[in-house]
Amino acid sequence: MNKNSPIKKCLFPAAGYGTRFLPATKATPKEMLPVLTKPLIQYGVEEAIAAGMDTMAIVTGRGKRAIEDHFDISYELENQIKGTSKEHYLTEIRAVITKCTFSYTRQIEMKGLGHAILCGETLIGDQPFAVVLADDLCDAPDNKGVLAQMVELYKKYHCSIVAIEEVPKDETYKYGVIDGNEIEPGIFMVKNMVEKPEPEVAPSNLAIIGRYILTPDIFDIIRETKPGKGGEVQITDALLTQAKKGMVLAFKFSGQRFDCGSIDGFVQATNYFYDKETKKETEKAAKKPTGAK
Ligand code: G1P
């Protein structure tokens, strides 16, 4: 691996069942659930593009074909609305499709997030890459997304990085939790990392959210990582090994994150983006000269 090579690839583990959203997710991938009009995974892809990435590697599973169709042209639909007032609805997704390429592989068995990431190895190769868990939906100030912030940090340290945020202590059981030394404001050198600890044994309340930058040696480490919490191969455990062998950073990002894997988080995200869009529309309307339509 050339540690100076820019991060161009982003991996999306997207094989999970989304049981918390049944029956909606019975025949629709959870990554395709929309916040306003945009599916969760498209927010993630746009965040990756904004961070300079152009290759999206998606680890899918059975029943997930809608994701592939979404990131493709629909000739019939395009033809139908071409030249009509509805054409603009496709502007954003068209831009995404032209800016990057998509490749897919399937995770045949659900053996955990570490295993899902390992399934993406053939799509990634020997280069540093990002990972986005699409159900963690992030929004950041000044259009500098969480991944863009992490890429900047990678350029300085050239090691794996996890994004973290403080959570209430009684919620540590939902997350990977880190312990570390703060080497710069908001940047921790990881000493310990535990997957979903009970509050009494959690090393801190600094929880990992679904944004990672990983160096490719992680693949060999995952291959040797034994199943952990829940009998699954955990990326948290692999990252702890990597931290002990070398260095892993945890980064308190700027911005907001919504847990769209839960109904509460999903509703909060919807309200947040609705308010944001409404504000934008109002500002746009206020700027138009009077009399203009
Ligand atoms: C996964 C990771 C966990 C991390 C979380 C962030 O868990 O295993 O370490 O904190 O994503 O969303 P999951 O939510 O997939 O169970």
Ligand 1 contacts CB of residue 14 (under 6 A): no
CA 176–ligand 1 middle distance (angstroms): 6
Query: Does the model's pTM come out above 0.85?
Result: yes
Name the CA dihedral angle for 196, 229, 44, 216, rounded to a multiple of 10 degrees. Answer: 120
Q: Is 209 in the pocket of ligand 1 (CB under 6 A)?
A: yes
Q: Which of 31, 107, 113 to mutate to test the pocket of ligand 1 (most atoms within 8 A of CB)?
A: 113
Counting the structural domains of the chain, the total is 1
Q: Measured in angstroms, how far is the CA atom of residue 207 from the centroid of ligand 1?
A: 9
Is 292 inside a domain boundary?
A: no
Q: Tell me: the pLDDT tens digits for 216-250?
A: 999 999 999 999 999 999 999 999 999 999 999 99
CA pair distance 129, 291, nearest whole angstrom: 50
Binding site membership of 133 for ligand 1 (Cβ less than 6 Å) = yes
Cα angle: 250, vertex 255, 261; to 5 degrees: 80
Query: Residues 176, 283: contact at Cβ < 8 Å?
Result: no
Gap from CA of 110 to ligand 1 centroid (Å): 14
Q: Mean pLDDT across the chain, nearest whole number? A: 94
Q: Is 68 domain-assigned? A: yes
Domain assignment of residue 3, yes or no: no
List of residues 6+ apart from 282 with CB closer than 8 A: none
What pLDDT is stored for residue 148 in this prediction? 97
Per-residue pLDDT of 41-72, as tens digits, reads 999 999 999 999 999 999 999 889 999 999 99
> Is the shortest distance between the CB of 114 and ligand 1 below 6 Å?
no
Q: Are 187 and 153 in contact (CB under 8 A)?
A: yes
Specify which residues 257 forms β-bridges with.
138
The CA distances from residue 48 to 55, 255, 276, 284, in Å, are 9, 15, 21, 27
Tell the residue number behind the tokens 């950073």, with chain if given: 249
For residue 229, being part of any structural domain is answered with yes
Indicate whether 39 belongs to any domain. yes
For ligand 1, what atom is nearest to the CA of residue 208?
10
Measure 135 CA to ligand 1 centroid, in angstroms. 10
**pLDDT computed for residue 242 by the predictor:** 98
Closest CA to 147 of 281, 254, 286: 254
Residue of the nearest CA to atom 13 in ligand 1?
175
Residue 285 lies in a domain: no
What's the CA-to-centroid distance between 288 and ligand 1, angstroms?
45
Read off the pLDDT band of 186 (50, 70, 90): very high
CA distance 166 to 178: 10
pLDDT band at 291 (very low <50, low <70, confident <90, very high): low
The CA-to-CA distance between both ends of the chain, in Å, stands at 55
Residue 290: per-residue pLDDT: 65
Report the phi/psi class of residue 290: left, alpha or beta, with left for phi > 0 and alpha for psi in -120 to 50.
Answer: beta
Q: Which residue has the tokens 């600094």?
A: 206
CA atoms within 13 A on the CB side of 256: 11
The answer to whether residue 289 sits within a structural domain is no
Tell me whether residue 228 is in a domain: yes
What pLDDT, on the 0 to 100 scale, is given for residue 63?
Answer: 87
Domain extent, residue 30, equals 9-280
* CATH number of the structural domain spanning residue 236: 3.90.550.10
